Amino acid sequence: MRKFESNVQLIKYEVLREVARLAMEGTLMEEYEKIPESIIPGPKPRTRCCIYKERAIMVERVKIAMGGDKKNKNIIEVLEIACDECPINRFTITEACRGCLAHRCSEACPVDAIFHVGQRAYINQEKCIECGRCKDACQYNAVSDVLRPCRGACPTNALSIDPKNRKAVIDNEKCIQCGVCVIQCPFGAIMDKSFIVDVVDLLKKEENVYAVIAPAIASQFTNVKIGQVVAAIKKLGFHDVIEAALGADIVALSETHEFAQTIEEKKVMTSSCCPAFVSYIEKCYPEFLENVSTSVSPMIAISRLIKKMDDKAKVVFIGPCTAKKAEINQEDIKGSTDYVLTFEELCAMIDAAGIKIEECEEAPLNNASFFGRIFARSGGLTEAIEHVLKEENIQVDFKPIVCDGIAECDKALKIAKVGRLQGNFIEGMVCKGGCIGGAASLHRWPKDRKAVDKYGELTVEKGIKDSLRIFEIDDIDLHRHYKKDDRE
């Protein structure tokens, strides 16, 4: 039996598995409406008030698993019917209110939303603008602040509450597709769209479909060997399985050379591997867009290498990241990677196909360096650049700031904005821990970092140049080509 972090993840898995199974059988369009009843047979509900509501929610989950709203370009979507259990009012006055004479809470309120009856203060929720000044003013800590988990987690304030139906709403212009809201919603009311049906169809139609696996996979299927996972992926119909870590080796070289050539002019350069981090800069710190490395991400680099070697190739990236699903459709890199699957979706596909990973013979996977593989965790890129600088004897002052999670990224960018950053390179990872903490990981454990390091140590080629010596990468386009409007 597979272990899941929560019932939310379990239910998501069950939906993805059933969608994948029917797609593989070729009966999805005829049978998908039966999925809610097969997962929730009744007569008792699993988590909600009744099976009828559960099934209605399940219908929406199935739609997301089948690709979601095609008109909505955002990868993350809210299931309105599932979003109904969170507290409506953020600030409330608790029993700790002493009915003091000072009335500092009402004095601090800019919209006169606080009134007093007898010895108690109350908040008029129709007037409240959720500024929090009453909470700061109360000396008895009598003001409770209950912020919805999705809103509290969102780093760009892309989530708001519709005043009409009190449902969560995503502002696509602010959303960076990081998926943290998907993790934090306790009711699974926010999901990432899936390409699982597209990939199943692709595997049926095309022969040269390559799977590119992110190195974070080392921390996911801990009860089996990596070689067995590779074999299971091949059994799904993939022509071959390639490491994204090889793309990371390519990017490490590219980014190191770019840093050495431009840092004197730029003063500060940021990494470009994490698409959510780049998007965060675009939306929240646009003045730093010229400081972002122009190197493509490892996913794009390895996809372009594969398609250079096989002009009939189709590439499916498999990793822990929801932002990757959005990255493949960005204008200047569109067409490099065809589809993105998450580890959750891979797990569902393998089980839907009836493949038992533990029974698979190990398949080889030795085509990346130690440094390419440790890109999966925070600090990996920095170590790779330091390796290249030493290996090529490049004399440049490299002072990295490793940012583990969006809070540290924001702090570094704020300090850089006022010209007080004690470094000249910002390695930004939006997810805590790096890719191993991605929103679509099967789990996020403290020991995952060690698992990635151990995976890196298993490489045959320890150095970056050693892993790339048999490939011709000089004529691969490794740089982003932003339009002028994109950088304004």
For 222-249, the pLDDT digits (tens) are 889 999 999 999 999 999 999 999 999 9
- CATH code for residues 69-83+149-193: 3.30.70.20
Res 118: pLDDT = 87
Residues of the chain with CATH 3.30.70.20: 69-83+149-193, 91-145
Cβ neighbors of 199 (< 8 A, separation 6 or more) are 316, 339, 341, 349
- Residue range 255-269: mean pLDDT, rounded: 96
Return d(Cα 375, Cα 244) in angstroms, integer.
Answer: 10
For the domain 91-145, what is the CATH code? 3.30.70.20
CATH class of 196-487: alpha beta
The three-class DSSP label of residue 166 is coil
The mean predicted confidence, pLDDT, of the chain is: 93
Decide if pLDDT at 483 tops 70: no
Residue with tokens 């990236």: 317
d(Cα 437, Cα 433) in Å, to the nearest integer? 5
Q: Does pLDDT of 45 surpass 90?
A: no
Sequence letter at residue 419: G
Among 395, 402, 383, CA closest to 463: 383
Q: 71 in helix, strand or coil?
A: coil
Phi, psi of 42 (to 5 degrees): 85, -170
Instruction: Taking residues 454-470, report their average pLDDT.
Output: 89
Which candidate, 249, 229, 246, 237, places its Cα nearest to that of 210? 237
87 cis-preceded (ω within 30 degrees of 0): no
At 485 the pLDDT is: 44
- With bands split at pLDDT 50, 70 and 90, how would you rate the model's confidence at 3? confident
Whether residue 481 has pLDDT greater than 60: yes
Paired sense of beta strands 190-192 and 314-319, if any: unpaired
Q: Is 361 exposed, middle or buried (0-12, 13-18, 19+ CB in 10 A)?
A: exposed
**Would you place residue 200 in the very low, low, confident or very high pLDDT band (cuts 50, 70, 90)?**
very high
Residue 466 has a CB neighbour count (10 Å cut-off) of: 15
More confident residue, 260 or 444: 260
User: Which residues fall within 8 angstroms of residue 438, CB to CB, at 6 or more apart?
Assistant: 179, 216, 319, 320, 321, 322, 342, 343, 431
Copy the structure tokens of residue 406.
């969006």
Contact 290, 266 (CB under 8 A): yes
* 76-78 and 190-192 beta bridge pairing: antiparallel
Query: In the numeric block, which tokens belong to residue 183?
Result: 């993790």
Picking from 404, 424, 427, 406, the residue whose alpha carbon sits closest to that of residue 416 is 424
The band of 1, judged by pLDDT with boundaries at 50, 70 and 90, is low
In angstroms, the CA 194 to CA 181 distance is 16
Using DSSP's 3-state secondary structure scheme, residue 461 falls into strand
CB under 8 A, 24+ apart: contacts of 419-422: 421/268
Query: Could you give the residue range(s) of every CATH 3.40.950.10 domain in the chain?
Result: 196-487
